[in-house]
Every structure is written in structure tokens, then in C-alpha cells.
Structure 1
Amino acid sequence: MIKKFKPINKAYKFRIYPNQEQQELIDKTIGCSRFIYNEFLAKSKDNQYKSYSKNSKELTQLKKEYTWLKEVDSIALQQSLKDLDKAFKNFFSGKYKFPKFKSKRKTRLSYRTQKFIRPSGSTNIEIEENKIKLPKLSWVRFAKSKEVTGKINNVTVSKSRAGKYYMSVNVSQVLETTIKNNQGELGLDLGIKDFLTTSDGEHISNPRHLSKYQDKLAKLQRKLAKKKKFSNNWYKLKQKIAKVHSKIKNVRKDFLHKLSTRLTKEKQLLVIEDLNIKGMLKNSKLAKHISDCSWNKFTTMLEYKSKWYDCIVHKVNRFFASSQTCNICGIKNPKVKDLSVREWTCECGTTHNRDTNASLNLLKQGKLDLGLR
């Protein structure tokens, strides 16, 4: 067995349990980071875009005007300026639209702080057992579900709409992987009834996470509709609804992570279809189920994990008729376009399961695209 060592950047996400004083400081830091981003974005609109270094000098003067900015982590404020600078560079390169102001109610509640070594040799970010030391916050307890290995680069502290606090620790580490020698190729057909069907005949059922909590959500939302908007009881119910959504998000993400890790670790080639998910969501009957599947998130996980575990992930053109074409003789059956047709018999006499046939065709087409036999 030949082992390979690969340098990668990886993030470990944990739930943290700050005390009341630390919670207030986290909330304040998130607010100040958002204020800095919006303040300098407004200045860029009024005058013209300035580089990060020029904005950084102005930030020093701004702290004299708004003394409350000195109460929070100064690195977090600098990171906001770097985020704004990156947003403008992406705009100038044509990748994204002009930067937007950050909303208190809609944008993610988070801030990022960076690790550095002091002249004395100590660091501003350290982990000891189930506690982490963060700038201004001191030691914060967290749910240590796994060991953090590698060199810490930065930490992102966030707050969910359900009122829970998290941290994402970004590290540089050397990943140990096993070099695969033709360990397998798979065609992957994504679906709603079965979340995934593979070319070797495996059917992974769709967990339907949203459906499991749908009744509970509907009941809470009916109660919310009867409350006076922005009253204390209205906010309490909003919090309960946010907690249910947080639960759905977490169990869905857990399922996607486990499945994507298994596939990229075990196989050498994975072929999937380049789905037009945005267009598919226009189907009002299936939109909710498609969103619940999170196919885009799953394919993103496959792509970045494939770089870790030396696996090739190839996307086949979305216009390729994988379900309608017989994988034996190549004859196309237009009737199979109807999603209600789950099994069909080809002119050559072969009976096909719709999803298994699609996965076999995807694998065959993917190998042709890559010039493989």
C-alpha cells in the first residue's frame, strides 16, 4: 500500500458555549464588523474605491471618532476591510456584481479573526482540551467532537438565527492518503425518490429531511401568524422556528458529508450530470423536494474532497440523454422523458431501471469525455 502526503487547507466546525459576557462581546464584534464593511462601502460609493491599505489607515482615525470600536477584536475589523477589498476585486474582474451593504437581518452573523505569534512567543489563538482562547474573549468552551490537527490560520465565529454560537477553525495540514490503483469508477445519478443511484446498482434512499419536520414547522408558523408582529411572543416563536430549520440544516449536512467522503475515499473516478438546478427549481411541483435534496451542495463537496483523496470528479453535459438511452445498444426512447416511467424495455429486449440505466450511461459518457476506455 503506497501512501501519499498532501498539504491542504481544512476547516473544523464546532459549537461553542460562551458565557453571558462573551456572548455580548461576540454580538458586539459581529455588529462592529458589519458597521466597518458598510461604512467603507458607503465611502467608496460617495468618492471612489480605495485599496485595503488606505482604508486601514482611515480605520485608525475612525476608532478615535467611534471609541466603541476599540472594545472589540481589532483583527476582526481589519478582516472586514479585506473582505470588502476582495468583493471589489471580484467586481472589477467581472466575476460578481457590485458589493452590497450587509443587512442585520439577512446576512450571516459572523466575524473572522487571524492567528499571529507575539514577540514573546505566545499566540493569540490556542486550543487546550475542550477550550479555545480567542482575542478579547479569552477561553471559550466548545464541543470537541474531533481533534484539530495542523497549523491554525484563522477562526470564524458565527451566530445562527436560532441563537447558537459556532466557530470554524481553518488549518493548514498534511493529509495522508492512499494512492488508488484502479479502485473503481462510478456513474452517479441524482434523484428525488432515491437520492443517489450508482452504476454498480446501489440505491441510496432520499432521507427527505424537510418532510420529517414539515408538520412541526407548519404548526409553529400558524401560531406565528396569530401573534402581533415584533411582540415578545412573536420573537419567541421566530426563535423556535429558527431552531427547527437549524436542525434540518445540520442533519442534511451530516448526511451529505458522510456520503461524499465515503465516495471520494473509495473510488478513483466519479461521473455525475451537470444539472441545471436553477431551471429545475422553476417546477412548482418539485421545487421543494429538489431544494431538500441539496444536489448543488453535494456536488460541491464531491469536487473539493476529490482534491484531498485523489479522486476525479467529472460532470457530463446536462443535455446528454442519460435516462432515455439504452446502455446496451444505444437506442433512445423519448417516452422515458416522463418522470413517471421508472422502468422500461428497450427494442433490444433489455429491461432497464430508469436510474441505474442513467448512471451506467453517465459513466460510459464520462470515460469517453476523459479519453478513457
Structure 2
Amino acid sequence: MSLKQRMYPTEEQQALMVMHAEHARFVYNLGLEQRSMWTKDKRHFRQKISVYTQCRELTELRRELDWLRAGSAVIQQVALRDLDQAFKNFFAGRSRFPRFRSARDPKSGFAIRNLALRRINHKWAQILVPKIGWVKFRLTYHYQDAQQGSSARAVHHNGLWHVSISTPPRQKVPADTGANVGIDVGVANTVATSVGIFIQAPSFTPGEQRRFLALQRTLARQKKGSNRHARTLAKLASLRRTLNDRRTNWVEQTTTALARTYDLAAVEDLKIVNMTRRPAPRPDLDTPGSFLPNNARAKAGLNRAILASCWGQFTTRLAQKMDVVRVDPRNTSRRCQSCKNVNALSRESQAVFACIECGYRAHADTNAAQNILDRALTTNPGTPGARTQKPRQRAASTNPLPTVQTVG
């Protein structure tokens, strides 16, 4: 588990932290390029490349490059370890092939392997960064929890520095109520429970939305690299940071409220990456070189709405706080809770479910949440946390409780 907390470096410390991030990105990309060159058919090197051989070669490279030697060898070695872990995840089928890190990436940072902390008072503490010294950060968790960390990662995003301290996972919240709940996630209603409670994820206020769109129009007319362009980017980053903090706070409060109320939660095992994939182009067979409409613009809007609903973050944090069963999502919104009949015509609209077989009527999202709970209790009784759907084998890549609304 990571404890993310705000850092407050001085101007001199911030310049050195940017240097560490640039060095980590350079070493990571260089190591990735070297590994991509090595093949069994074309042995450009006498031995197989590993993190140990690359660390030895990094030492030789630091002797030749003064600007690289100015940084920390420990931070640069950790970047190579991150690359090695990325390859392990790829070969295990957990992620895609490692990609080069771009200097234009909105997020940049570096890892701190040997964690050293010291407390200033009940609100502030310091972390030791190699070749920089003690950097102050805000204590938003108990200091005893931060002391249990083994490593940390400093990240620069939207103009601010944060430190994420890796700690052992926390104990789940014991509710001891004996109650179970089914949860259906959606776009119109972010979270709908089997007891008729609807919870909506926060977004921009109308005023913030108008300001965000106005800043985007202003940014499009400004020259890239100018001072005005940089100031507009900073204002946009401030709005994005506000929205991100608002959504993170919503996820934490909602998942904690559910964990304190129910012993078991049933959720859909959704493949969000596949759901937000862009539609495939439709070539026009009659006119070679041209394409037919594929509703890409409408799909892009749906993808943004899905990602803004924070389904993945919500489910992950909920599973970390309580027992969660993931079920197969097929036909959960088309199945009648009363007679168990499955028919697409029963779903009259987004909000109305009217069974054409028995006449049962209910809110469509509530009916789906009840089906999710029934499927979890029927398929996996007494085995919380297990998946009722077998995980798919991923093929190797070929490319290098808040305010709620109750429905009676």
C-alpha cells in the first residue's frame, strides 16, 4: 500500500529533484533500448542482458558522463530495477511490452530505495533524498504508518511534488453486520447498490467547466513555449489537480462507508481497458483508401465518461478494505430479479426495467445490482475475494458514504 503525501521542496531542492527524474528517465530508456537490441538470432552482446549487467555498465557510463555522475547512482540503479520488473510483468502477462518514457509525460519522478524519515511535529516530517538532503512533506497519515515503509517514490504531476511511501497492506475494515451488498457501476449512476442507494462521482462544477473550456480555447491560440502558454498550462493543471483530489476523496469516503456497513460486496469483473478501446476503422470496399463512419466521436465521449467514473480505482480500493467477489457481468442488466428470465427487451431504458415475462418493474441499476449479488452468493459461496470468471490469458504484444439518493 502507498501513502501519498504532498512534498514541499525548496527551489534549490526542486531543481535537483527534476535532475534526478531526468536521469532516471534517461537510464530507463537507455536500458530499454539495449534490451530491445538483444535477440537470440542476433547476439550483439556476449552475454544475456540482465539488471546486474546493466548496473555494471551504468558504473562505467557514469565515469564518462559528468552530467550523469552529478546525479545519484542509487536512483539510477532503481530505474534499471523498474525496467527489469516491467519486463517480468510483460512475460507474466500482467502488462504490455515496456515503452519509452517521454519527456512530455505529465508525470515524472524517481524512486528512493533506502527510506529514511524523521518527524518535525504532528503535521510535518522529512524524507532523505540522495544528494539532496532532507525534504519536507505534509503528514496526512499517522507517522507510525509511514515508518513502516520500505521504499518511496517521488512524483511530479500538475506542478506539485508528492511522495508515495510503500507500506505493508492495512487490515480490512471489520463490519461484523452480516449484511451483503451487490454493486453495479455505470455512467448515469456511478454506483448503484442492491438496496436502492445511488452514489454519483464528483465532477467539475458548472463554473469550473466553463473556466476549463475557456482556458483550453485560450491555450489553442497561444504560441507553444511562450510565457503566456506556460501560465495557461499551469491554470489548467490546477483545475485538473482539484478534480483529481475531489474524485480520490470520493473514492476513499465511499469505499470506507461501504466497508463499515457490509461484510461482503459483489462487483462485476469488468475489462475496463477493452471497454474504453477505440472502435476499429471500417474500410469502404467500394472506394479503396476511404473509410465508412464508425461512430468514433460518440465512442470517445463514452470512453471519457467511463474513465471519469473511476470504476477501476473504486473497485481496487473497495477490495483492499473489505471482502469482494467479482462475478461475470454478462446479462446482469437483462436478467429479471423476480422470475430469472433473460431478455434484452425487458430493459426499456437506462433507468427502467420491466420484465416482459412476469411484469416485474424496478430501477434497472438496482435490478442489476441484485443480480450481481445473487450470482456471487450462488457461484462462490463462502469464498470471498475469489473471481467467479476465469482470468483470460493475455497474448504477448507484438508492438516494441457521501450524499446518497435512496429509491423506495
> TM bucket by the smaller chain?
0.7 to 0.9
Letter in 2 for 1:318: P
Residue 302 of structure 1 corresponds to which residue in structure 2?
Answer: 318
**How far apart are residue 156 of structure 1 and its match?**
0.7
Select the structure that is richer in strand: 1
Q: Does 1:133 align with 2:130?
A: no
Q: Residues 311-326 of structure 1 correspond to what in structure 2 (within 5 A)?
A: 311-319=322-330, 321-326=331-336
Q: Residues 1-373 of structure 1 correspond to what in structure 2 (within 5 A)?
A: 10-46=1-37, 47=44, 49-106=48-105, 108-115=107-114, 124-129=116-121, 130-135=124-129, 136-148=131-143, 149=145, 150-160=147-157, 162-172=158-168, 175=170, 181=176, 183-209=178-204, 213-281=208-276, 283-303=299-319, 305-306=320-321, 311-319=322-330, 321-337=331-347, 339-344=349-354, 347-371=357-381
SS of the aligned residue for 1:152 comes to coil
Distance 2:300 2:97 in 1: 31
Distance 1:50 1:127 in 2: 42
Residue 3 of structure 1 corresponds to which residue in structure 2?
Answer: none
The 1:180–1:348 alpha-carbon spacing in structure 2 relative to 1, beyond 3 Å, is: same
The 1:280–1:214 alpha-carbon spacing in structure 2 relative to 1, beyond 3 Å, is: farther
Q: Is the 8 A contact 1:270 1:313 kept in 2?
A: yes
Deviation string 1:300-345 (CA, Å, 9 cap, x unpaired) is 2223x14xxxx321122121x2222221222334224454452536
Distance 1:340 1:251 in 2: 27
More moved, 215-224 vs 80-89: 80-89
**How far apart are residue 242 of structure 1 and its match?**
1.9
SS of the aligned residue for 1:157 comes to strand
The 1:209–1:273 alpha-carbon spacing in structure 2 relative to 1, beyond 3 Å, is: farther
Residue 296 of structure 2 corresponds to which residue in structure 1?
Answer: none
Deviation string 1:79-103 (CA, Å, 9 cap, x unpaired) is 1010111123333444444322211
More moved, 180-189 vs 58-67: 180-189
Distance 2:273 2:97 in 1: 22
**How far apart are residue 182 of structure 1 and its match?**
5.8
Q: Is the 8 A contact 2:187 2:306 kept in 1?
A: yes
**How far apart are residue 289 of structure 1 and its match?**
2.1
What residue ranges of structure 2 are gaps of 5+ in the alignment? 38-43, 279-298, 384-408
Letter in 2 for 1:77: Q
Distance 1:332 1:32 in 2: 57
Give the superposed CA RMSD. 2.6
Deviation string 1:127-147 (CA, Å, 9 cap, x unpaired) is 433131313222222222221
User: TM-score under structure 2 normalisation?
Assistant: 0.78
Residue 294 of structure 2 corresponds to which residue in structure 1?
Answer: none
SS of the aligned residue for 1:188 comes to strand
The 1:223–1:186 alpha-carbon spacing in structure 2 relative to 1, beyond 3 Å, is: same
SS of the aligned residue for 1:50 comes to coil
The 1:285–1:90 alpha-carbon spacing in structure 2 relative to 1, beyond 3 Å, is: closer
The 1:331–1:88 alpha-carbon spacing in structure 2 relative to 1, beyond 3 Å, is: closer
Deviation string 1:39-85 (CA, Å, 9 cap, x unpaired) is 22223334355111221111221111112233333321111010111
SS of the aligned residue for 2:228 comes to helix
**How far apart are residue 13 of structure 1 and its match?**
0.9
Q: Is the 8 A contact 1:276 1:318 kept in 2?
A: no
What residue ranges of structure 1 are gaps of 5+ in the alignment? 1-9, 117-123
Letter in 1 for 2:242: K
**How far apart are residue 223 of structure 1 and its match?**
0.6
The 1:286–1:179 alpha-carbon spacing in structure 2 relative to 1, beyond 3 Å, is: closer
SS of the aligned residue for 2:190 comes to strand
The 1:169–1:40 alpha-carbon spacing in structure 2 relative to 1, beyond 3 Å, is: same
The 1:210–1:294 alpha-carbon spacing in structure 2 relative to 1, beyond 3 Å, is: farther
**How far apart are residue 179 of structure 1 and its match?**
5.5
Letter in 1 for 2:118: E
User: TM-score under structure 1 normalisation?
Assistant: 0.84
Q: Is the 8 A contact 1:345 1:352 kept in 2?
A: no
Q: Is the 8 A contact 2:350 2:364 kept in 1?
A: no
**How far apart are residue 239 of structure 1 and its match?**
1.9
Deviation string 1:170-193 (CA, Å, 9 cap, x unpaired) is 2237x4567565621100011223
**How far apart are residue 363 of structure 1 and its match?**
0.6
Letter in 2 for 1:157: A
Name the % identity.
Answer: 28
Letter in 1 for 2:344: P
Q: Name the count of aligned residue pairs.
A: 349
Q: Is the 8 A contact 1:131 1:139 kept in 2?
A: no
Distance 2:205 2:311 in 1: 14
More moved, 328-337 vs 342-351: 342-351
The 1:43–1:279 alpha-carbon spacing in structure 2 relative to 1, beyond 3 Å, is: closer
